[in-house]
Amino acid sequence: MKLILAGIIFLHFITFAKANENVLKEKIQKQYPEITVTSIVKTDFNSLYEVLIGDQIIYTDKDFSFLIIGKVIDPKSRKDMTQTRIDELTKIDFKDLPFENSIKIVKGDGSNKMAVFSDVDCPFCKKLEREALLNLNDATIYIFLYPLDIHPEAKPKSAKIWCATNRQKAWLDFMLNDRMVDNNGDCSNPIEETLALGRSLGISATPTIVLSSGKKIPGAISYEELDKYLNGFYD
């Protein structure tokens, strides 16, 4: 009987908390209709609620009477608890990525797997390719062509690379040596699908690396940093 009563109380608590979260979501989106709230969770920090918007967490109360933009740090371990939660909430299911829509590059035994959302005209993507990815050993790299609107020529260039007989060579020739493959780029390609996928995964900048663990790493990190991620030095 006690177990049944405890279960009823727990269910009531969960239902009440969920109702509060739904009301809070409505309040936020009424005041800021241009943003999309991905999730809301009551935290253990007094009356604060955690609100995930894209790849950012903000904090507020149940009435949205204030908002806090910043990080929650554990004073003992000095761990960035906000970033830990962002990593958890934005983790990608790596195995479900549509690898058939990517350019596969295998180095050595290919044991370290990662995906890279990259724009052919992004200077930071070229920096990542030339200074980090080029030096990797024993890696399988899935390149997802992700041309951004700020680079108007990136989409037709991406189409040409996809239409190449040897996509891997065409990609590396351009990213490493600025040599574009010679074709019309008029074959069927998955670029629009990849753009939609990236938006659904919250990828707004290039390059973005996705490790096999599902962790997203934005930016042109160095070979040394990438090696540390691959060898478990970073969570």
Q: What is the pLDDT of residue 233?
A: 66
Q: What is the pLDDT of residue 223?
A: 94
Q: Does the bond joining 207 to the residue before it have cis omega, within 30 degrees of 0?
A: yes
Q: Which pLDDT band holds residue 6 (cuts at 50, 70, 90)?
A: very low
Concatenating the DSSP letter of every residue in 119-159 gives -TT-HHHHHHHHHTGGG--SEEEEEEE---TTSTTHHHHHH
How high does pLDDT run on average in the chain? 88
Q: Is the pLDDT of residue 4 over 50?
A: no
Q: Provide the residue count of the chain.
A: 235
pLDDT in tens, 117-154: 999 999 999 999 999 999 999 999 999 999 999 999 99
Tokens of 177: 């040596």
pLDDT in tens, 7-49: 433 333 334 445 578 888 888 888 888 888 888 989 888 888 9
Domain ranges for the chain: 2-89, 94-230
Q: What is the pLDDT of residue 3?
A: 44
Tokens of 223: 């070979």
More confident residue, 75 or 161: 161
Q: What is the pLDDT of residue 214?
A: 92
pLDDT in tens, 57-97: 989 998 999 888 988 898 888 889 888 888 888 889 999 99
- CA-CA-CA-CA torsion sign (21, 24, 26, 31): negative
Choose among 169, 149, 159: nearest CA to 190: 159
Residue range 190-199: average pLDDT? Answer: 95
Is domain 94-230 annotated with CATH 1.20.1070.10?
Answer: no
Q: What is the pLDDT of residue 158?
A: 98
CATH class of the domain defined by 2-89: alpha beta
Q: How far apart are CA 154 and CA 21, in angstroms?
A: 41
Q: What is the pTM of this model?
A: 0.77
54-63, 177-186, 191-200, 209-218, range with the lowest pLDDT: 54-63
